[in-house]
Amino acid sequence: MSGSPTLRRKRLSRQLRALREDAGLTADDVATEARQRSGKARGWSLSKLIRLEKADWKRLAFDDLKILLAIYEVPEDEWGSYLTLAKEGNRRGWWASFGDALGSGQFVGLESEASRIRSYQSMVIPGLLQTEEYARAMLQASGISDEEDLDLRVQARMFRKGAVFHSSPAATLWAIIDESALLRIPRELHGQLEYLIDMSHTPNIGVQVLPLSRGLHGETGQMVILDFEPPDPSVVYLEVMAQELYLEKPSEITHYQHVYDHLQAAALSVEETRDHIRSLMT
Question: What whole-number distance in Å separates Cα of residue 155 and Cα of residue 148?
Answer: 11
3-state helix, strand, coil in the chain (%, to 5): 55, 15, 35
Same domain, 229 and 102: yes
Q: Are 51 and 155 found together in one domain?
A: no
pLDDT in tens, 14-70: 999 999 999 999 999 999 999 999 877 567 899 999 999 999 898 999 999 999 999
CB 153 within 8 A of CB 101: yes
Average pLDDT over residues 208-224: 82
DSSP class per residue in 195-242: HHHHHTTSTTEEEEEE-GGG---S--SEEEEEE-STTSPPEEEEEETT
Same domain, 83 and 112: no
Does 148 share its domain with 223? Answer: yes
Q: Which pLDDT does position 2 carry in this prediction?
A: 53
The predicted model gives 212-226 an average pLDDT of: 80
Residue where one domain finishes, among candidates 89, 114, 136 = 89
What's the domain count of the chain?
2
Percent of the chain exceeding pLDDT 70 equals 95
**pTM exceeds 0.85 for this model:** yes
Start-to-end CA distance of the chain, whole Å, equals 40
Indicate the residue among 67, 89, 111 that finishes a domain. Answer: 89
Identify the pLDDT of residue 76. Answer: 96
Residue 1 has pLDDT above 50, yes or no: no
Q: What is the pLDDT of residues 167-178, one digit of tens each?
A: 778 899 999 999
Q: Same structural domain for residues 10 and 69?
A: yes
Domain containing 157 equals: 95-280
- Domain match, 45 and 153 both: no
Query: Is the model's pLDDT at 270 over the cut of 60?
Result: yes
Verify that 69 and 208 share a domain, yes or no: no
Q: What is the pLDDT of residue 158?
A: 94
Q: What is the CATH number of the domain that holds 136?
A: 3.30.870
The CATH number covering residue 27 comes to 1.10.260.40
CB 20 within 8 A of CB 74: no
- Same domain? For 78 and 153 the reply is no
